[in-house]
Chains A and B, each alone.
Chain A
Amino acid sequence: MNRRLILVGFIGAAVMVFTVWVAALINQDPDVSYASPADFIRRIVVNGAFVFVGCVLWARRPDNRIGPLLVIYAFAWIIGGNLAPAAGENLPLWAGHITSAVSALYGIPLVWLIVSFPTGKLVRGIDRAAVGLVALDATVQGAMRVIGYYIESAGRFWSRYYPVPNGVVALFVLCIVVIRLRRASPVERRGLTPVWVASGTLALIFIASGIQTLAIALTSKQAYALASSLDYASMLIPIAYGTGLLRLRSRRAGVGKLIIELSDQPAPGKLREALVRTLGDPSLELAFWFPDAQSYVDLDGKPFHVPDQDPARAITVLERGGERLAAIVFDATLAEAPELVASVGAAASLALDNERLHAAVRAQLEEVRASRQRIIEAADDERRRVERNIHDGAQQRLMALSLALRRAQRKVADDVGAAEAIIAEAAAELSIAVSELRELARGIHPPILTDDGLGPALQALVDRSSPPARLAIDPIGRLTPAVEVTAYYMATEALTNAARYANASEVSIDVHRDEEVLIVEIRDDGPGGADPSKGSGLRGLADRVAAVGGHLHVDSPPGGGTRLTATLPCA
């Protein structure tokens, strides 16, 4: 905590001391010794504590409303608890009425403090309802005191039954607190101590005033003793917030220990443990950015879903030099300590490399496993397709042919002319079957690719292509069979897609060699919108390209044609 904050706190407390002094001057009731030194000191200590902590919090986190609420509560309490009780005797009538009218308003910031922790903002409808209810109650309480001054029966009635509406409000707020605590995560529950304390105080105020009026007739001395103990009890509220601050500071000290621990390059898995210990959040998760897939993975390389829509979880993304490294996902309550999370994140970035490498290797392994599976499935599909093609095409023709020849054989002795006709028909059928088989064999593996290399094979493919295709190829010579087959397969796949889905009017194939990589670029002027994650064709192509150590880039904006670019290492 820096000096400026402490100064702000002391200035606030000084204003409070002055206020209490003024209140004491005004309020000199000999019966309950409102101006006794002990009483004066108690007011200074209790309300000073509120204002000091409130001002420090306010200066430290201007966007958080807890600080101002603590300050407002303290001043409202001075007015309600110090000025109002004897105001009638020591102030002009109009001033007495005003202090009476506002005497119960301190309940508003108190309830607000309880329901809005830790931000000080009223987010949920039920929280707003609680504050609205206490505001109504406080207004009625103040109004009834003024009315009671003029109408005696109303005054008597109210002095007996005023704890009842207070009790309703208190019960409502306590219900909200109990529900919140039941639903809270472990971290949140630990952070809710100030809520416990504040709501406990609320309950005490209610019980005390209830005892005072409903059950036992206290002497004014007893009533005074009860009121002062209650006043001291309420000091727990700023103490709770103060220790909250201190705890944050002690966690800060934990960051130092974390840095020392992490400088040792911990074994995979230890980083998360260290973060859990330092932030005190067992639900903390660590996800690593996997650039290959542009998504997060866990330590085992499995896809990790970062919950960016969950209000109960907060996310801190760790970056280095503008490059995303990882994300810490933690309990949203901790997001109220952003400096702590930021310094923990900075410390974690130092030791991230080991774990990232571990996760990346696992993720790559997963990817390789998955692509191996897909390649096997694609090969099986291909075998089935070939079997079906043979069966439906050439085989049926050959079966028909064998029948035709048997018929010719029967005829040849007594009807040579008919036999000749059948044989001529059979010969025509046979040449169709042969060319079908040839086509099929070329689809399995084009002999020209093996014999003459990629250039002539692509040229033959382009010459036969049904959407008109254009080939531009550098003299690249012979490459390894795997690279030649992959580039050729890419061209056949692209031409098939262009003919089948893209309705392209022209396809262009560019092949050139850039030192140790072969770059194959195939463009069509079809409707675009191809998605490699959907169609098995492009997926299989990407797998094949990856299998030879290359990379496939698909650029297919809707309405903008499709461009496939593969870079294939060919050293």
Chain B
Amino acid sequence: MGARLVVVDDSAEFRAQILALLVEEGYEVVGVAPDGRSAVAVVARTRPDAVLLDIQLPDTSGFDVARELKHAAPDARVILISSREAADYGDRLVRAGIPFIAKNDVSGVSLAAAIGTDR
């Protein structure tokens, strides 16, 4: 069985595609959330191994959600995703110390590297 994941993204089209991809790659998607507030609740309830977290959410920023998740679910590994490039965030990504994948680079390989295949 693959890692248990939660996907947080406000775009329905993108969510649909990434869910299909994750299932095809053998992951188990245990929850989805369209915004930051429900993301924290879903993660706290489902206790996933990893969270794919969009940075640009309608109610808050993925950085803020990641900070909250550190307390709410310290075991969940957070991977930030965005339709922007890493360079668009300056050194915020480095300072946050969270792995990042640009949405157009999301693939089985990049996900496996970020989530870690040891599980």
Given contacts A400-B11, A402-B104, A410-B108, contact A395 B83 (CB under 8 A): yes
Contact B83 A391, beta carbon cutoff 8 Å? yes
Measured CA separation A395–B21 after assembly (Å): 19
Whether a CB of chain A sits under 8 angstroms from the CB of B114 is no
Whether a CB of chain B sits under 8 angstroms from the CB of A403 is yes
Q: Which of B17, B56, B108 contacts A404, CB < 8 Å? A: B17
Contact B21 A402, beta carbon cutoff 8 Å? no
Question: Chain B's interface: helix, strand, loop or mixed, by majority?
Answer: helix
Whole-angstrom distance between the Cβ of A246 and the nearest chain B Cβ? 79
* A-to-B contact residues, CB < 8 Å: 391-392, 395-404, 406-407, 410-411, 429
Whole-angstrom distance between the Cβ of B90 and the nearest chain A Cβ? 17
Whole-angstrom distance between the Cβ of A387 and the nearest chain B Cβ? 11
* B-to-A contact residues, CB < 8 Å: 11, 13-14, 16-18, 20-21, 24, 56, 83, 103-104, 106-108
Interface centre among B13, B24, B103, B108 (most CB of A within 10 A): B13
Whole-angstrom distance between the Cβ of B75 and the nearest chain A Cβ? 27
Contact A399 B108, beta carbon cutoff 8 Å? no
Contact A407 B24, beta carbon cutoff 8 Å? yes
**Chain A neighbourhood of B56, CB < 8 A:** 391
By Cβ-Cβ distance, the 8 closest A-B pairs, closest first, are A399-B103, A403-B17, A396-B11, A400-B13, A400-B17, A400-B14, A402-B104, A406-B107
Contact A402 B103, beta carbon cutoff 8 Å? yes
**Chain B neighbourhood of A407, CB < 8 A:** 17, 20-21, 24
Q: 29 A-B residue contacts at CB 8 Å? A: A391-B56, A395-B83, A396-B13, A396-B14, A396-B83, A397-B13, A398-B104, A399-B83, A399-B104, A400-B13, A400-B14, A400-B17, A401-B17, A402-B106, A403-B14, A403-B17, A403-B18, A403-B21, A403-B103, A403-B106, A406-B21, A406-B106, A406-B107, A406-B108, A407-B17, A407-B20, A407-B24, A410-B108, A411-B24
- Closest residue of B by beta carbon distance from A397: B13
**Chain A neighbourhood of B24, CB < 8 A:** 407, 410-411
Measured CA separation A404–B16 after assembly (Å): 10
- Closest residue of A by beta carbon distance from B109: A406
- Closest residue of B by beta carbon distance from A426: B17
- Closest residue of B by beta carbon distance from A388: B56
Measured CA separation A392–B20 after assembly (Å): 21
- Closest residue of A by beta carbon distance from B106: A403
- Closest residue of A by beta carbon distance from B24: A407
Measured CA separation A76–B64 after assembly (Å): 90
**Chain A neighbourhood of B17, CB < 8 A:** 400-401, 403-404, 407
Measured CA separation A392–B13 after assembly (Å): 11
Whole-angstrom distance between the Cβ of B103 and the nearest chain A Cβ? 4
Measured CA separation A407–B83 after assembly (Å): 18
Contact B16 A400, beta carbon cutoff 8 Å? yes
- Closest residue of A by beta carbon distance from B107: A406
